[in-house]
Chain A
Amino acid sequence: NAGVMQNPRHLVRRRGQEARLRCSPMKGHSHVYWYRQLPEEGLKFMVYLQKENIIDESGMPKERFSAEFPKEGPSILRIQQVVRGDSAAYFCASSQIPTAEAFFGQGTRLTVV
């Protein structure tokens, strides 16, 4: 049973470009969470999705950021017009039910140059 798969592992974007981060949850998991980790900091919640629905996006910046979890395919975190401050590690996690343990992917390290 494969774990949570995130790709790419490393992503470099120039300021103003778009970044697309993908997350395939563990088999049987329909709950997906996205977190951002800045250097030397903890993990900050961004968004919680179930299949085709955004349940909680209270941690998502209002502009330039969006997330989806379609019926088929991976969850996507999209950052438009990236800025230097978007440079961080973005982690995806999935769980079987909301209160169960969440298993994390290896993260995507985004660098904006």
Chain B
Amino acid sequence: AQKVTQAQTEISVVEKEDVTLDCVYETRDTTYYLFWYKQPPSGELVFLIRRNSFDEQNEISGRYSWNFQKSTSSFNFTITASQVVDSAVYFCALSLNTGNQFYFGTGTSLTVIP
């Protein structure tokens, strides 16, 4: 069975601090895909990143970076120099090669305090 765990339910940081959102996944498949989505207060879901299981290179996009470690089954997301606009719920998700569905974590609610 597949499972995604986001142990941090809520995080509050002061603007300009760095923050890391944790994501741990479970699957027995060797081919899978990992995703992060952002859900701002307006409610829509915004795609942030997709990573396949064969690519363990870390990725950086502006203030965002992702650390994928197969050894610990983790796909953590770091926001550097956080801003108020980063306040949102962030979801980590997993899909398999069949692509039938995304398995979502329960989300981490991030509040950036000005």
Contacts and interface: CB of A to CB of B under 8 A. Distances in A.
Asked if chains A and B come from one complex, the reply is: yes
Interface of A: 31, 33, 35, 41-45, 48, 55-56, 58-59, 89, 91, 93, 95, 97-107, 109
Contacts of B50: 100-101
Interface of B: 33, 35, 37, 42-47, 50, 52, 91, 95, 97-107
B99 A97 contact: yes
Given A100-B50, A101-B47, A42 B102 contact: no
Contacts, number: 62
Nearest to B93: A43
A74 to B, nearest CB: 18
Contacts of B37: 104
A99 B101 contact: no
Nearest to B107: A42
A1 to B, nearest CB: 14
14 contacts: A33-B101, A35-B102, A45-B101, A45-B102, A48-B101, A58-B101, A89-B43, A95-B99, A98-B95, A99-B33, A100-B50, A101-B47, A103-B47, A106-B44
Nearest to B95: A99
Given A55-B100, A101-B35, A101-B50, A41 B95 contact: no
B102 A102 contact: yes
Nearest to A44: B104
A102 B95 CA distance: 11
Contact of B45 (A59, A91, A98): A91
Contact of B97 (A91, A99, A102, A106): A99
A58 to B, nearest CB: 8
Nearest to B52: A99
Contacts of A31: 99
